[in-house]
Amino acid sequence: MTKIKNIFIILLFSLVVYACGDDNTFRNPFADVDHKALAISDNDSIVKFLKAHYYDDTVDSVKALLSGKTAMYNDSKLKIMDVTENEISYKLYIYVAKEGSAFPNSDKGFPKKVDSVFVKYSGRTFSGRTFAANAFDSNIIGIWFNLNSVIGGWTYGMTNFKGGSLKKDPSGGPFNGPITFLNSGKGVIFIPSGLAYPSSRIQNQSNSLVDTNLFFYIDLLDFVKDTDHDNDNVPSYKEDVDGDGDINNDDTDKDGIPNFFDADDDGDGVLTKNEDANGDGDPTNDFSDPNNPTLPDYLNPKIK
Ligand SMILES: [Ca+2]
Ligand SMILES: [Ca+2]
Ligand SMILES: [Ca+2]
Ligand SMILES: [Ca+2]
């Protein structure tokens, strides 16, 4: 009886193993993706596309190359950025159709990659599929994004454009016309899959755009210069305490909230904006600890 029972268990066990081996739901379909190799083939595909298309600025559109037109790849408006993410080198291609500019007296320059941007956009796969909710033909004026929390292609690509200016009522009276931005930054960002939705991040694996090269038409309407996400008078780009270019990994008081979202960075109970001994509105230039004269008070829990 025991023997029969054992055989039954072995049989059951082998059935389960067999089921696991045969059923794809038990296997991660992205486990074999070689992201380094993919980065190289993605770049080849993007270069090929840029050599076979031009930008028609009469309709702000990417079109198949015609004789007499300059391929985007050879167009001086194409910028190439080298970006390294997860130890893989990528090239990001940005076609700057119009750099954009706020009116001369209020030119804010370019956004930093941690700033908040107000943008209109439309996404495409290289096979021509359109996605993205905020399409140009919709009535939506634009959407705010924090460049620190979007796909890498946007984080870096958007820093090549300037925002425009809200069109003011020429009479100087109360604004009552449709909201329009003048001189906004316009162009196309061509993004290798590794800087879009790589399958190396589990949350992307259910995304239909996973491991796919994408491009976005973008219109940078406006941005917040030196965005200060936690309103502590230290702009977010300065909350990169370890200086590695990433503001997500700096958490001085180790409370789980990164400094750029933490209004009390050293967790001493005094808000960062109030750790301003010289009262100039800037917490980064106050050093009151004689034993630690290079550590600003707002990062020093001994100084309240
Ligand atoms: Ca950092
Ligand atoms: Ca902070
Ligand atoms: Ca100060
Ligand atoms: Ca302090």
Q: b/e string for 86-96 if b means 16 or more Cβ within 10 A?
A: eebebbbbbbb
User: What is the tens place of the pLDDT at every residue in 165-201?
Assistant: 887 666 666 666 667 888 999 999 999 999 999 999 9
CA atoms within 13 A on the CB side of 3: 0
Q: Which domains does the chain have, with CATH numbers?
A: 35-224 (3.10.50.40), 230-304 (no CATH)
Length of the chain: 304
CA of 147 from ligand 3 middle (Å) equals 27
Give residue 219's pLDDT: 95
Query: What's the pTM value of the predicted model, to 2 decimals?
Result: 0.82
CA of 230 from ligand 2 middle (Å) equals 6
β-bridge partners, 217:
122, 188
Looking at all shown ligands, the one closest to residue 232's CA atom is 2
Looking at all shown ligands, the one closest to residue 276's CA atom is 3
User: What is the tens place of the pLDDT at every residue in 2-12?
Assistant: 454 554 444 44
User: What is the tens place of the pLDDT at every residue in 232-282?
Assistant: 999 999 999 999 989 999 999 999 999 999 999 999 999 999 999 999 999
Give residue 28's pLDDT: 83
CA of 208 from ligand 3 middle (Å) equals 49
Q: Which one-letter DSSP state was computed for residue 135?
A: -
Q: Which residues contact 213 (CB under 8 A, 6 or more apart)?
A: 42, 45, 46, 125, 126, 190, 191, 192, 193, 196
CA of 297 from ligand 3 middle (Å) equals 9
Percent of the chain scored above 90 by pLDDT? 72
CA–CA separation, 58 and 221 (whole Å)? 19
